[in-house]
Chains A and B, each alone.
Chain A
């Protein structure tokens, strides 16, 4: 297992360096240390490094909250994408654009957070009422719920002429990331740290309310903290990068297939794999129609939904 970890770290380093040197304006190591290095360094600081950092933070944090969500709901297919969290966050951003036109990023984030949390709780309430707790049926309900929220977003966006500004948030995109426009993402860093501290509690809570009470764990509090983390991270990422579909679903699944369901041991793997996956998708998106680029929402969406389908089919054969 140590070996896997080493491979992931090596991949992360290689891909990170690659990512720094890909882009519309060419830049090489030679430029950096050549006679006109100043311009190259500027490019690096203003655009390339912020982009790399935001890719890593988004990849790590979305994968980790997906893992937490799956653990708490005891369903492998529940994630910010399949529980309406992401769509609710987008709805919140639309509300923020509509009602608080000149609001700063923090206010927008807070409003997105409130809606993301609300949406997640509505999904959880639906989950508690659904008698037919099939592992595949539940995420479908979540996707439908997300679809309803998202169509409401589109409706209001059309009505109030916001569709152009909104579409920026409907698809995740790293090409607009620049110094001064992504720092909000750093909020996710302490949140990831909190998930390490709560890892064991999330695992116990994932075993059910009665199991938790037997061990003296405050079940409701732990679930609320977990869902709060999920909503906060999702709204921060949606606001700065846009929605990256299926990320929080496929990465944790790939990890738990090999490592089982003990959250504590899975966090680091999930974080690394998430970062590596988003980096790889981003590099692919930047190369495929170079010098233009395909947005990350699309690349991850296509690759991710493919893996999602594979996981669904695999699950079926596994259960029978």
Chain B
């Protein structure tokens, strides 16, 4: 269980995240939604110790993240950010191998190899595992990075805007994989996501943020409501049910 208690972060006198408390349920997909500058990414970075928090506590398995050894935490929680996608000429397999770094420090044993094979198979990357990352399309690259996180085999998987720059087909593919990670492998997935319809169709819980504060958190059903969305986004968002999913029609 991840518990966030009274966490704040300031940049140049402005509170980007302001006294946020929440709990992330195990074995579920939780999405952070909200307008630009709501503090979603900052909050996620603090939960995963990428940036230091000014105030508050983040407890993972009832232990403050500051008290975890970074190497141990890397076996418990993983984070994938869009900015991680740097231009480096590694093969897909090399990249996925690095997912085992917390366990093997780079010297992979049989067990590590098995995890890597499994992750590559899971993301359907077998045929391109020896290709260089810079030869792949955006969607394939994203799958390779997710395969790395799968090989890292952490209970908690945090993804900051995993659908950025992906077309509809690839976005749906990625979201289905994340759903399978939760349903089949029992992972806990936390997302920062901009498209509220993807959040609506694939998450179990949603946390709506605005100006660094939690506006409302709850089940997807409770949050995808015109009254809540109005408060979060300052606009009228009609919600219609299509094929069992709640879809927000905010385009016109």
Write the residues of chain A forming the contact surface with B, with a CB cutoff of 8 angstroms.
Answer: 74, 199-201, 203-204, 206-208, 210-211, 213-218, 256, 260-262, 264
Contact = CB atoms under 8 A, between A and B. Distances in A.
Interface in B40-54: 45, 48-50
A113 to B, nearest CB: 28
Contact of B88 (A199, A200, A206, A216): A206
B81 interface: yes
B88 A207 contact: yes
A216 B132 contact: no
A260 B132 contact: yes
Contacts of B69: 216
B90 interface: yes
A211 B78 CA distance: 10
Interface string B74-94: 110011110110101111001
Given A215-B101, A217-B101, A262-B94, A74 B86 contact: yes
B35 interface: no
B70 interface: yes
Interface residues of B, number: 32
22 contacts: A200-B101, A204-B98, A204-B101, A206-B88, A207-B84, A207-B98, A208-B84, A208-B86, A210-B79, A210-B81, A211-B84, A211-B86, A213-B49, A214-B79, A215-B98, A215-B152, A216-B75, A216-B101, A260-B91, A260-B132, A261-B90, A264-B106
Contact of B102 (A201, A216, A256, A260): A216
B105 interface: yes
Interface of B: 45, 48-50, 69-75, 78-81, 83-84, 86, 88-91, 94, 98-99, 101-102, 105-107, 132, 152
B74 A216 contact: yes
A200 B50 contact: no
Contacts of B84: 207-208, 210-211, 214
Contacts of A218: 70
B90 A215 contact: no
B74 A201 contact: no
Given A208-B83, A208-B86, 12 more contacts: A204-B106, A207-B84, A213-B50, A214-B74, A215-B101, A215-B102, A216-B69, A216-B70, A216-B72, A260-B94, A261-B90, A262-B94
Nearest to B51: A210
Contact of A214 (B78, B94, B105): B78
A206 B95 CA distance: 12
Interface of A is mostly: helix
B70 A200 contact: no
Contacts of A74: 86, 88
A128 to B, nearest CB: 15
Contacts of B105: 200-201
Contacts of A260: 89-91, 94, 132
A66 to B, nearest CB: 17
Contacts of A201: 105-106
Contacts of B74: 214-216
A206 B73 CA distance: 21
Contacts of A216: 69-75, 101-102
A263 to B, nearest CB: 10
Contacts of A214: 48, 50, 74, 78-80, 84, 152
Nearest to B154: A214
B73 A200 contact: no
Nearest to A208: B86
A215 B86 CA distance: 16
B72 to A, nearest CB: 7
Quick one: which of B70, B84, B132, B152 has the most chain A CB within 10 A? B70
Contacts of B72: 216
Contacts of A262: 90-91, 94
Nearest to A211: B84
Given A214-B48, A262-B94, A200 B81 contact: no
Contacts of B107: 200
A210 B160 CA distance: 12
Contacts of A207: 84, 86, 88, 98
A261 B86 contact: no
Contacts of B49: 213
A217 B89 CA distance: 20
A320 B48 CA distance: 36
A206 B107 CA distance: 18
Contacts of A213: 49-50, 70
Contacts of A210: 45, 50, 79, 81, 83-84
